[in-house]
Structure 1
Amino acid sequence: MDLGMIGLGRMGANMAERLLRGGHRVAGFDPGEAARTAAAARGIEAATSLPELVALLPAPRALWLMVPAGRIVDDTIAALRPLLAPGDVVIDGGNSFYRDSQRRAALLAEDGSGWLDVGTSGGIWGLDEGYSLTIGGDAALAQRLAPLFRALAPAPERGWGHVGPAGAGHFAKMVHNGIEYGLMQAYAEGFAILQRKQDLGFDLAQVADIWREGSVVRSWLLDLTADALRGNPALDGIAPFVADSGEGRWTVAEAIDLNVAAPVITQALLERLRSRDDAAFADKLLAALRDAFGGHGVKRD
């Protein structure tokens, strides 16, 4: 099956290569010349423009977007619309907000073009391990493109599925990432406690390795934790600054809107925000208040 991949960064190029391994033809476009050159070296047909990419593909076309969420998705769709024919389908495999996906599906439907939003998980390991894919949009379109999903997934009939109408694929991925926030925070806090208990002399990588086998807390995230601690036990050179790309915020907002208590995910998000507060004004105020009402004194910079 033929596919056009738009966005040939690390993940997009990895997905394209996995499809090539599965016997599919992939042509791609990226505005960056370096990305196109690197993709061509991996066997991906690299077009120099969107019109050239569309011309390379037989109708009905499938065009998979792996670009950052937000305005760039809208800009890419706006550039594609005059080039598409009825029956073509646009797939968004990035981390877009699900309401944006619903809006984009309705927009493309006006032209007779199809839409699928695919929540894609697997990161840089997906090339060899496969990708988890939650697919939103028309079920018949998802079935038509099933050979692509089978090639990308960890196994042909595992790790992917059509989960609902437009927006559902990205909604599921949003919640997936919210859960990920909570899991990562729990691991981080647990290992911080072990690290602080220095009189017992824990080898953190050893503990992580032990827990990877048979423990109820074993997971791929724990595998990655063990690797990180083995390579850099003190985490030297890593700043205590944790970014977020939006999905945790969206998950918390949806939980509030739906009257669902989600304290773990919410607190994990707040801890990420806290990690970026170099000035820590709130902590300074807490110290000042303790001194004001109890005479506890304050530690000076």
Structure 2
Amino acid sequence: MSSTLVQLVLTGLLQGLLYSLIGLGLYLVFSVMRVVNFAHGYLVLIGMYGVLVLDPQNLLDYAVALVIVAVLAAGVGYAVERFLIEPGLDKGGHSQLVITLSLGIVFQYTFQVLFPDPFQTIANPWPWDAVTSGGVTISVPRIAAGVISLVLGLAVSWLVYRTRAGKIMRACSESLSGALHVGVHVPRTYRTTFVLGAALAAVAGGLLLPIQPVSPLLGLELTVKAFIVVVIGGSGALWGTVVAGVLLGLAEAVGSLYAPGSLATSLVYALFFLVILLRPQGIVSSVRTA
């Protein structure tokens, strides 16, 4: 295997883990609340623009910035769920579609007004620039983003499958009427889920910023990729989302070796559409939990 292919595979793997983290927030909201959040990619932008404004100059500042944007996005997520989404939950799926689509447009134009200069980024906050071995060079921010995304994925898995809060989330996901029957406070669970999804999205954005410059138009692209990851992963378990995110990252990276620019992206999306047609239930269609 050539060093170029190895580098692309490793890059795709790390990028895919970051896509997985973005997708996990959307997966939680959809599986627990049955809400299709078309503004999810713009929650990622809150993390990116938040870190951009804070402009960390070293690793400690960067870590603090990630915590700040996570709290900020959690607050925005609470307000969105409490005052926009929750009042319309009884009005059907079309209501949520209109609300989140409109919210995404508001976010996009707000970012365009506040940040008129496109494609901004920050300097590498890590003490090292890259790791080189055997002719393969991977940037440290990309490695760190992938590793942190994996750790957070493990933490979310532990929360969902090993804690009481996670059992309540799964109860709402599997049977809302059953959850109500046993006394679950559903509105509180919905708010917690949406807040968690927003915080994960913002942290993913903060991790992405040193790798990819931010632009208001990036929100739509990230929303589409998050939907691809969730649909391909399936509704059976959140680890399907992780696997799908990795597959998307690998497909993008390796695809760039055989097709130029936007053509590679188009081929990747075409491939995933084919997967949806052949296996509409996703990679993981069901799972048994204790």
Structure showing the higher helix proportion among its residues: 2
Work out which structure has the larger RCO, using CA pairs closer than 8 Å and 6 or more positions apart in sequence: 2
Q: Same fold (TM over 0.5)?
A: no
Question: Taking structure 2 as the reference length, what is the TM-score of the superposition?
Answer: 0.25
Question: Taking structure 1 as the reference length, what is the TM-score of the superposition?
Answer: 0.24
Structure showing the higher strand proportion among its residues: 1
